């Protein structure tokens, strides 16, 4: 059976000309976007295209994926490797920065290419698939490093691997006695949910504790198909977590964050991290200042379920790690703890029980 007219079948958009054809960029923008495409990969899957409201020039879905000439401007404080993966790479495809856990990056391809990506200098459709030999060396490194209790599959997007290769990796990791946890970070369930089929679910099977952290930044990304994909993963025994990036024009209001976290919870996804933007080249248009991020989260505390509350983190440069950014509700004032009530905003004194000469035994 022929597929029918290819024009009618939605396809992943991978270049500026097809963006214009799909009505997602104006024809006069094409030359500029072609220059952007020389530097950074682009891809917008059919599932994501279907989420975009073409009548809204500020559409929060389009903003995440449609390139912009602003990406050609790199600021002095932007770095090509903002999270410093390179110096913490013992063997190709592994990043070991914390004692008890390490990343495995089996490929650098993603279903979509986010315009704010912190690894935008390295991700791309042709990039970074480890060879069989490199993958075996990386897996051997996990087997030979007993301090590591958790393997974190990332990339790129590990759910872009073939089911066969994913099953091989899961099998090798599952056989390593000192590993307790296998965690995957993926954007596939919301941007290419059709990939979460029986073979992929079977490939994820493991006796280890399995977590999948889904990257989503807007409530609308939880489409009916995405919810089905996530439901299948949770039914397969995978604990679902959510990670989001705080992004100007996408989720930079208390209401947008509330909607996002509620959409996650209703799909059995526990919001885990809200990331401060990493300063990768050409991403300045997405940055929300930390003080604003803290105020947004402060406005949500008490108003939404405690289950919805993520940890707001900044990945420090030079491999110093991800640091929580608050907001804090407690501060020391005149030697006493002062704790702000999330419901009323009123400061409450919490008297310290000092261990001092009065109540010591001496
Ligand atoms: C983010 C990250 C992790 C995971 O950190 P968690 O705080 O456990 O989510 C592990 N290794 C590296 C190199 C990372 O960047
Ligand atoms: S899915 Fe993740 S790694 Fe891939 S482009 Fe988006 S932010 Fe980057």
Active-site residue, selected from the candidate residues 63, 79, 101, 105 = 101
Residue 61's nearest CA partner among 284, 196, 241, 226 is 226
Verify whether residue 294 is a known catalytic residue. no
The pLDDT of residue 318 is 84
Q: For residue 242, report the distance from its CA to the centre of ligand 2, in Å.
A: 14
Write down the residue that tokens 């990036």 correspond to.
245
Please report which ligand is nearest the Cα atom of 103.
1
φ/ψ of 16, rounded to 5, equals: -60, -35
* Residue 183 CB less than 6 A away from ligand 2: no
- Those residues whose C-beta lies under 8 Å from the C-beta of residue 20, and which sit 6 or more positions away, are 26, 27, 29, 30
DSSP-derived secondary structure for 303-354: TB-GGG-PEEEEEEGGGTEEEE-----EEEETTEEEEE-TTT--EEEE----
Rounded Cα gap, residues 291 and 327, in angstroms: 9
Would you say the CB of residue 117 lies under 6 angstroms from ligand 2?
Answer: yes
How far apart are the C-alpha atoms of 17 and 341, rounded to whole Å? 53
How far is it, in rounded angstroms, from Cα 238 to Cα 242?
A: 13
Q: Counting ligands in written order, which one lies closest to the CA of residue 185?
A: 2
Per-residue pLDDT, 86: 85
Q: What is the per-residue pLDDT for 356?
A: 59
Pull the structure tokens for residue 110: 């993603």
Interval between CA 159 and ligand 2 midpoint (Å): 12
Question: How far, in whole angstroms, is CA 322 from its chain's centroid?
Answer: 13
The CB-side HSE value for 225 (13 A sphere, CA atoms) comes to 16
Q: What is the pLDDT of residue 95?
A: 96
Per the prediction, the chain carries an average pLDDT of 94
Q: Is 119 in the pocket of ligand 1 (CB under 6 A)?
A: no
Strand pairing partners for 151? 102, 182
Give 8's pLDDT tier (boundaries 50, 70, 90). Answer: low
Give SS3 for 210: strand
Tell me, in angstroms, the distance from the centre of ligand 1 to residue 324's CA: 13
Assess whether 110 carries a catalytic annotation.
yes
As a whole-number percent, the residues of the chain with pLDDT over 70 amount to 95
Q: What is the pLDDT of residues 260-301, one digit of tens each?
A: 999 999 999 999 999 999 999 999 999 999 999 999 999 999
> Is residue 361 predicted with pLDDT exceeding 90?
no
- Whether the per-residue pLDDT at 337 is higher than 60: the answer is yes
pLDDT tens digits for 71-95?
999 999 998 887 778 889 999 999 9
Task: Please name the residues in contact with 153: beta carbons below 8 A apart, sequence gap of 6 or more.
Answer: 103, 104, 105, 106, 169, 182, 183, 184, 185
* H or E element that contains 97: strand 94-98
- The owner of tokens 């602003």 is 70
Looking at residue 83, its pLDDT comes to 74
| pLDDT at residue 271 in the model | 98
pLDDT digits (tens, 9 = 90+) for 294-313: 999 999 998 999 999 999 99
Distance CA 360, CA 357 (A): 5
Q: What are 57's two structure tokens? A: 């020039």
For the stretch 187-242, pLDDT in tens is 999 999 999 999 999 999 999 999 999 999 999 999 999 999 999 999 999 999 99
| pLDDT tier, 116 (very low <50, low <70, confident <90, very high otherwise) | very high
Whether residue 4 is predicted with pLDDT greater than 70 in this model: the reply is: no
The share of the chain scoring above pLDDT 90, in percent, equals 88
Cβ–ligand 1 contact at 149 (below 6 Å) = no
């Amino acid at each position: 059976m022929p597929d029918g007219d290819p024009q009618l079948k939605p396809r992943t958009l991978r270049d500026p000309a097809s963006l214009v054809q799909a009505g997602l960029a104006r024809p006069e923008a094409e030359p500029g976007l072609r220059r952007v495409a020389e530097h950074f990969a682009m891809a917008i899957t059919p599932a994501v295209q279907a989420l975009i409201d073409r009548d809204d020039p500020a559409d929060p879905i389009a903003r995440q994926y449609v390139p912009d000439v602003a990406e050609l401007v790199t600021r002095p404080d932007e770095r090509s490797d903002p999270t410093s993966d390179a110096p913490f790479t013992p063997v190709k495809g592994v990043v070991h920065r914390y004692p008890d856990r390490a990343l495995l990056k089996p490929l650098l391809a993603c279903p979509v290419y986010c315009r704010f990506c912190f690894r935008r200098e390295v991700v791309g459709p042709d990039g970074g698939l480890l060879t069989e030999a490199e993958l075996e060396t990386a897996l051997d490194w996990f087997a030979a490093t007993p301090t590591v209790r958790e393997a974190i599959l990332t990339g790129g997007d590990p759910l872009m691997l073939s089911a066969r290769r994913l099953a091989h990796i899961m099998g090798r990791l599952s056989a390593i006695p000192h590993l307790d946890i296998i965690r995957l970070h993926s954007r596939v369930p919301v941007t290419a949910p059709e990939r979460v089929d029986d073979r992929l679910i079977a490939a994820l099977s493991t006796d280890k504790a399995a977590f999948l952290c889904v990257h989503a930044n807007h409530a609308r990304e939880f489409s009916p198909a995405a919810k089905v994909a996530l439901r299948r993963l949770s039914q397969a025994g995978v604990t679902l977590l959510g990670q989001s990036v705080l992004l100007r024009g996408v989720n930079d209001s208390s209401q947008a964050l509330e909607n996002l976290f509620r959409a996650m919870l209703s799909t059995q996804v526990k919001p885990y991290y809200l990331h401060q933007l990493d300063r990768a080249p050409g991403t300045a248009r997405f940055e929300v200042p930390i003080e604003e991020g803290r105020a947004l989260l402060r406005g949500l505390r008490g108003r939404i379920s405690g289950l919805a509350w993520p940890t707001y983190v900044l990945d420090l440069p030079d491999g110093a790690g991800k640091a929580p950014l608050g907001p804090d509700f407690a501060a020391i004032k005149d030697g006493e703890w002062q704790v702000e009530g999330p419901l009323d905003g009123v400061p409450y004194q919490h008297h310290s029980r000092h261990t001092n000469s009065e109540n010591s035994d001496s």
